[in-house]
Amino acid sequence: MLNQLEELKLNALQELKDVNDIKGLGSWRVRYLGRKSNLTKVLRSLASLPLEERKVVGARANQVKVDLEEGLRQRERVLQEARLVVSAKEEPIDVTLPGRPFPIGHLHPITQTLYEICDIFVSMGFQVVEGPEVEWDYYNFEALNIPKEHPARDTMSTSWIDFETDSGESPMLLRTHTTSVTARIAETVPPPIRVVEPGRVYRYEASDATHTPMFYQIDGFVVDKGVTISELKGTLFEFARRFFGENRKVRFRCDYFPFVEPGVEMAIECLLCGGKGCRLCGNTGWIEILGAGMTHPQVLQRGGIDPEVYTSFAFGMGIDRLPMLRHQIDDTRLFYSSDLRFLRQF
């Protein structure tokens, strides 16, 4: 009987070592300490034993019971520490704990600006269209009244992909302005047209605080019967009010672009000094933000649009400049440096 008890204890403790969860502890308890367990049977049978034997076996059996109970408690503690088991009162998962922060990014400030500009024009009935960044010389220059040897080419030196082609095709380049999309749209979309054309453009120049070899522009192109320069002004005034604020003053002056006639430049009252003159506006009180004009009849004609029937206006502006003005950022290279300390501020 004593041997049997010893064996029972050894087996039980051996098995306990392999118990790794609360469920396992429960069934181990039932098996070794429960009503139907061998130990309980031994304890129950004590009454039928002769007195001497009853004393010895009884003491031993009770000791085994104490040892097993102690073993159980110990194992429970070990598992608790290892967080595999929790006492019944404790919730296995504290659902009231705040979740772990999950880092979510946001749109780049230039993309945010681009979307905002598009939204304003879309609300005025414009569609958003895109064109290729690797462009034929034809759409970037020729179609826009900038033939080879035209001095306007000097203001926009680009990276050539394919300068001379044997087959006599127009050479390929990285587009210098999104006005190339205007030339494409004129060719492919029948009027009435009302589009904005955002995208990346490239210039072959060294970068400094106000220049990068790649930047963003958005052009606009409107073609319809009876479109006049007053619609051009109305559209761009409205844009400036919506983007820079209700009371922002706007100024138009004559300017020259080969693909429009007449051409204008639009400036807004300086955001920093309110028109008094400061470093930001070069003491003029005004900041130029875009070029525009009535599309040249030859540009329409090249696209297959009859300038006797339709009139048209166009405009184009740099996008990077706008968040710079708004947030008083003095170096455009910050937008392209991938420095999260800068980007997180927007």
Binding site for ligand DAH (CB under 6 A): 177, 179, 219, 257, 260, 291-293, 314-316
Least Å distance between CB 135 and ligand DAH? 13
Which residues touch 264 (CB under 8 Å, ≥6 apart)?
A: 232, 252, 253, 254, 255, 291, 292, 293
Residue entry with tokens 């409205």 = 238
Tokens of 339: 């420095």
**Shortest distance in whole angstroms from residue 155 CB to ligand DAH:** 8
Q: Of the candidates 290, 275, 282, which has an alpha carbon nearest to the alpha carbon of residue 322?
A: 290
Q: Which residue is nearest to ligand DAH (CB)?
A: 316
| Comparison of 26 and 204: residue with beta carbon closer to ligand DAH | 204
- CA dist 265 to 22, 138, 152, 294, Å? 78, 25, 16, 12
Shortest distance, position 274 Cβ to ligand DAH, whole Å: 26
CA pair distance 134, 144, nearest whole angstrom: 17
Strands 160-162 and 172-174: antiparallel
Residue nearer to ligand DAH on the CB measure, 76 or 255: 255
Residue 116 or 255: which CB sits closer to ligand DAH?
A: 255
CB of 182 to ligand DAH, least distance (A): 6
Distance of closest approach, residue 259 Cβ to ligand DAH, in angstroms: 6
- Nearer residue to ligand DAH within complex by CB, 61 or 186: 186
197 or 269: CB nearest ligand DAH: 197
| Residue nearer to ligand DAH on the CB measure, 109 or 293 | 293
Residue 332 CB, nearest approach to ligand DAH (Å): 15
